Structure 1
């Protein structure tokens, strides 16, 4: 009889089930699964909107005129502008869609840069220790103690010089967020590296003659970075809030360079008191939904990474199933056709029902 688990189809299903998101979906249960699915749905819509913004947006992010002439400022929703126009005469729907592209670009650049820098510094500092570790920890704690938004503002001013163009504005926002995130990755990777380098397999590799670089990147790195997806999702939502905060305070990106939700909220402040709600509602709603979706994914992954919470599914599946076993001298008592009760009632002598032994 052939082993079904060794077939190509079974191997393909097994490989598919081991994928990060699929594996977490299979582990989740009840409300936890609902939160994860909702977060993944919102996050996927955000990513697709950012990628296909040039196709979905009816106008350009800095377009002020159409085939019928100028759009006009503060036009209510309807007609050619389903979400209305801003005080500057921009189409709100187009600005919201193009803003998703800017947010995704800043998230990718900031998270990737902070991961590379934080992971490398954490590995080196935690593995070698000594004066390098002490200096790195002090600098990391000093940076981590600053309010993240204030630090991002200072770095943004230093990088862009107060000028918000496409390169200066987007990269200044991304790099400023990167500096804020590096201490978080550094602290996590350093703590894991200090713990892992004392494990037996690391000592064995050192005894066998493996160099420090090989041990760090082949043995320690793979085990120390298992929690990075959790931090990545949570930092992505924080990056959006930091970017929106920079734009809201006037350190964002000019509308002629790119669309940014925080900048649009800043320009819509005067509209709120005049009863013009659409210029601020939709950019703010976009920020809330995207942050909510990414946060739901991060919190769900964080719960699933906890062994105590991850075991709830196995407990729920086995709840109420009690094995009726009885241990007697000589082995386990197995019930006959009448069940355990019939077995016990039929046994009038300790040797009744047992086969004769030589």
Structure 2
């Protein structure tokens, strides 16, 4: 029993047990697609047939726009790179950007939301105005401006990853700030917070031990949805030419932008693989986020309980409850 309760605390297992029908199908599909994306990104150096910037092999140069063959399963790009290798290495680049951007934005957004909601006053008003101004700004345009300011538009792997991550982070911080601030304002009005103040607990202890732990329940849903948005933003930056240089790392958006002219010439293999990689990576994470969002709806939990009722349970539920069961005495 204790082991079962411990397993139920694992987020994925808990959500799978909660889900039913189509909801469970969405969650499982999202977990499978996202798991494949993570696995490919982690083991990219071992499964990729060539390097992301490799232009030649034992038989000489690969050649540009070569059709799929035994040597190049998905052909080569206009720059002479192996398409399959670029797609595999591109998953690793996307994972780097997602992890760095989410870690930075989650911690900064939570901290600012906690301080703003707990202390209020002029600090709260100032942070709310700044967050609303950033939130109202077009997301992609803001990411482009930040990427240009940090790296001049293009750079190496880690400078490019940091530039893309910071540009995405600036967009995401207001989202976490607003969610956490709203929860903090609600939680700090609860009776147990007043009790902690009465017994002399310090403000940092109340903020981080009592308020914070009760104000972050909805963040996993936002994190999953923002992870999908981070991949889309990274691909958009690369597509517009503000991403990472092709000799520094593989990036799906950049490869997709260079294949536009190929499509008109009937060369499909340079555009479809990176495009499908973006679609499936975003789709898998989005399915998880939407499933978590639906499972957080109390009406779904009510439907789940109702679906598990036996006919005897339904009859018993329709009968008046005995006064003894309500705790009343004669």
Which range, TM-score by smaller chain?
over 0.9
Structure 2 segments unaligned to the other structure (5+ residues): 326-330
Partner of 2:169: 178
1:31 and 1:326 map into 2 onto residues whose CA distance is 32
Instruction: Give the secondary structure class of the aligned counterpart of 1:318.
Output: coil
TM alignment of 1:214-293, pairs within 5 A:
214-293=205-284
2:91 and 2:178 map into 1 onto residues whose CA distance is 30
CA deviation vs aligned residue, 1:10-55 (integer Å, no higher than 9, x gap) = 3122201221110000000000000000000000110010000001
| 8 Å Cα contact 2:238/2:252 also seen in 1 | yes
Partner of 2:58: 67
- Give 1:179 shift: 0.3
1:248 and 1:210 map into 2 onto residues whose CA distance is 52
How many residue pairs were aligned? 323
Partner of 1:307: 298
Partner of 1:35: 26
Structure 1 segments unaligned to the other structure (5+ residues): 1-9, 333-358
2:160 to 163, 169, 180: 169
Instruction: Give the secondary structure class of the aligned counterpart of 2:270.
Output: helix
TM-score, normalisation: structure 1: 0.88
Partner of 1:354: none
CA deviation vs aligned residue, 1:237-274 (integer Å, no higher than 9, x gap) = 00000000000000011111000000001110110100
The structure showing larger relative contact order (alpha-carbon pairs under 8 Å, at least 6 residues apart) is 2
Partner of 1:205: 196
1:132 and 2:120 aligned: no
- Give 1:154 shift: 0.1
CA deviation vs aligned residue, 1:165-212 (integer Å, no higher than 9, x gap) = 223211100110000000000000000000000001111001110011
1:331 and 1:228 map into 2 onto residues whose CA distance is 42
Task: Specify the structure having the higher radius of gyration (Cα).
Answer: 1
1:163 and 1:196 map into 2 onto residues whose CA distance is 44
TM alignment of 1:69-148, pairs within 5 A:
69-148=60-139
| 8 Å Cα contact 2:143/2:171 also seen in 1 | yes
1:323 to 283, 307, 315: 315
Pair 1:151–1:209, CA change in 2 (3 A):
same
- Give 1:159 shift: 0.4
| 8 Å Cα contact 1:303/1:310 also seen in 2 | no
Considering only aligned residues, what root-mean-square deviation do their CA atoms show, in Å?
1.8
| 8 Å Cα contact 2:153/2:243 also seen in 1 | no
Pair 1:329–1:175, CA change in 2 (3 A):
closer
- Give 1:328 shift: 12
- Give 1:309 shift: 1.5
| 8 Å Cα contact 1:248/1:265 also seen in 2 | yes
TM-score, normalisation: structure 2: 0.95
